Amino acid sequence: MFLKVVSPLHTPLTNTHTTMVFLISQVNGCTYTLDGNHHTVLMYHPLYSDGTYETNRGAYADVEWDELDDDVLTECDRCYQLLKAEV
């Protein structure tokens, strides 16, 4: 499931909004997004026990590809490809 969230991006020079794209993976029990700078790094956050998800990109951690089991790796790769197609 894709979710698009518009969130404010506050910097001293701008007061703009950015769209963050999230993908919920029931298989891995995580929400995935791409980094905000270059959209090349897959980031994850576990789903909360009530099924909700984190929308603060700062709470997400980089996926450590070399640490993943094969089944988790397959799902992460699928999520990465889907997210890349969205940006």
Those residues with Cβ within 8 angstroms of residue 46's Cβ, 6 or more apart along the chain or in another chain:
29, 30, 31
What pTM was computed for the model?
0.81
pLDDT digits (tens, 9 = 90+) for 32-71: 999 988 899 999 999 999 988 898 889 999 999 999 999 9
Question: 10-14, 26-30, 55-59: which range is least confident on average?
Answer: 10-14
Both tokens of 69, joined, read: 């089991």
Higher pLDDT, 8 or 26: 26
Q: What distance in Å separates the CA atoms of residue 46 and residue 7, rounded to the nearest whole number? A: 20
Cα–Cα nearest to 44, from 81, 52, 54? 54
Q: Calculate the average pLDDT of the chain.
A: 83
Detail the DSSP E strand segments found in 11-78.
15-25, 30-34, 42-46, 61-62
Overall domain count for the chain: 1
Range of the domain at 39: 2-86
